[in-house]
Amino acid sequence: MRVEALERISSDGYSLEKDDVLTVPDEIGAAWCRNGWGRDTAGVVETGERRVLDARLVVDNSTLGHKATNLEG
């Protein structure tokens, strides 16, 4: 199956960047398409919705203190 990467994919020993097109075994390509990571260029396997589950972002409110220095002398 030929798959176009819709995002960066690192799976099953393959590493693709967005818009790369690669021929992979059907079961791998179908899984990528079902997960919304890739698109079947033949249009046989439907592209699933890309979902991120349980993603969390923790942000600390902080201030970086840095004093400017003149390096020219």
pLDDT at 73 exceeding the cut of 70: no
pLDDT for the residue numbered 27: 97
Stated pTM of the model:
0.70
Of 13, 8, 11, the residue nearest 31 (C-alpha): 11
| pLDDT at residue number 39 | 97
CA separation for the pair 44, 4 (Å, rounded): 13
Percent of the chain with pLDDT over 90: 67
- For residues 15-39, average pLDDT: 97
pLDDT higher than threshold 70 for residue 37? yes
68 has a pLDDT exceeding 80: no
